[in-house]
């Protein structure tokens, strides 16, 4: 079964492009959000397998939102993966301190990259639910 994901980014163009790409590659994008508030609502309602969060989310940090999503007792964001146009090396300290299972650069975004991070988080079983 294809992974169900929510994409959170403040760029409408990126949301459209990422959704089209990931759906073409076999993921089910069940929702998109452009603000923290919308992300909290959508993720609580949709209960995705994966939540993709931009680290630069307008006035809010994606790192802050990742913590809010994972700490909320009534929200299950699935696996949180941070995305950005910034290089991973520039964000290492913040990424390591975050509850996210990993990071994917926006230029490298693909279903395969997401599935690999999820498989690693599940202990390498490779099973997508």
The confidence score (pLDDT) of residue 95 equals 85
Locate 99 and state its tokens.
Answer: 């509850």
CA separation for the pair 103, 117 (Å, rounded): 8
CA separation for the pair 99, 7 (Å, rounded): 17
What pTM, to 2 d.p., does this model score? 0.91
> Are 46 and 31 contacting, i.e. CB atoms less than 8 angstroms apart?
yes
Q: Residue 93: pLDDT band by 50, 70, 90 thresholds? A: confident
Please write the tens of the pLDDT for every residue from 67-89. 999 999 999 999 999 999 888 87
Please write the tens of the pLDDT for every residue from 18-51. 999 999 999 999 999 999 999 999 999 999 999 9
Give kind and range of the element (H or E) at residue 7. Answer: strand 4-8
Domains of the chain listed by start with CATH number? 4-121 (3.40.50.2300)
How far, CA to CA in Å, does 63 sit from each of 35, 97, 98, 129? 13, 9, 6, 25
């Amino acid at each position: 079964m294809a992974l169900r994901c929510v994409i959170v980014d403040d760029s409408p163009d990126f949301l459209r492009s990422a959704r089209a790409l990931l759906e073409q590659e076999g993921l089910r994008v069940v929702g998109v959000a452009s603000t923290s508030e919308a992300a909290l609502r959508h993720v609580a309602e949709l209960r995705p397998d994966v939540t993709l969060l931009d680290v630069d989310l307008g006035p809010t940090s994606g790192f802050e939102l990742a913590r809010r999503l994972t700490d909320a007792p009534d929200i299950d964001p699935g696996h949180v993966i941070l995305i950005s146009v910034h290089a991973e090396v520039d964000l290492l300290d913040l990424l390591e301190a975050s509850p996210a299972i990993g990071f994917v650069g926006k230029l490298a975004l693909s279903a395969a990259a997401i599935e690999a991070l999820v498989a690693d988080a599940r202990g390498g079983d490779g099973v997508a639910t």
